[in-house]
Structure 1
Amino acid sequence: MVNVVVYSSDYCSYCIRAKQLLDAKGVAFEEIKVDGKPQVRAEMSQKAGRTSVPQIWIGATHVGGCDDLFALERAGKLDALLKA
């Protein structure tokens, strides 16, 4: 299984939804919380080109945020990306 990284915040409903989808699929992921950690958020923003959370990587692929993750699921492309 490919490495999945989720930058998130405890106070973000989109983060919760994205993590719930990954959990429902049985996907183990590394969660990196940005709450109260401006340096970690800055690192995420530099890598992602976005400041919002969640920011999700599947392997070397930057998926984007929650809406992007669900769009992949609706398009039937998420499972293939997770198995790559």
Structure 2
Amino acid sequence: MLEVTMYTTTTCPYCRKAKRLLDGKGIAYKEIDVRPLGVKNEMVSRSGRRTVPQIFFGNRLVGGFDDLAQLESEGGIDVVLSPRMAG
């Protein structure tokens, strides 16, 4: 399975929604708080975006919560994270 990484802040409501969606599906993810010095720069260089959350499946940028929710409504999360697709 691909590693799921999410750049977040503790005060972001969309970050909480994204975590709740992934938790509800039983998907483990690595959460990276962007508040420490330099971490936001890492996120921006990786995604080209400045807002949180920024969610990655492996090296693929999914986007923010709205993008994740859209992918879920299309059944795409399970397809992208299936072992067949990850391998």
* TM-score, shorter chain, exceeding 0.5: yes
Across the aligned residues of Structure 1 and Structure 2, the Cα RMSD in angstroms comes to 0.9
Q: Deviations over 1:12-64 (max 9, x none)?
A: 000000010000000110000012x2310011011100000000001121100
Structure 1: gaps of 5 or more residues: none
1:63-82 superposed matches below 5 A: 63-82=62-81
Instruction: Provide the residue aligned with 2:45 in structure 1.
Output: 46
Query: How many residue pairs get matched?
Result: 83
- TM-score by length of structure 1 reads 0.94
Q: Distance in 2 between matches of 1:26 and 1:40?
A: 26
Aligned mates of 1:50, 1:4 — CA distance in 2: 17
Q: What 5-or-longer segments of structure 2 have no aligned partner? A: none
Q: Secondary structure at the match of 2:38?
A: helix
Whole-angstrom distance in 1 between the partners of 2:32 and 2:26: 18
For 2:37 and 2:59, the matched residues in 1 are separated by: 23
After the TM superposition, which parts of structure 1 deviate over 2 Å for at least 4 consecutive aligned residues?
none
Identity, % of aligned positions: 46
2:1 corresponds to 1:4: no
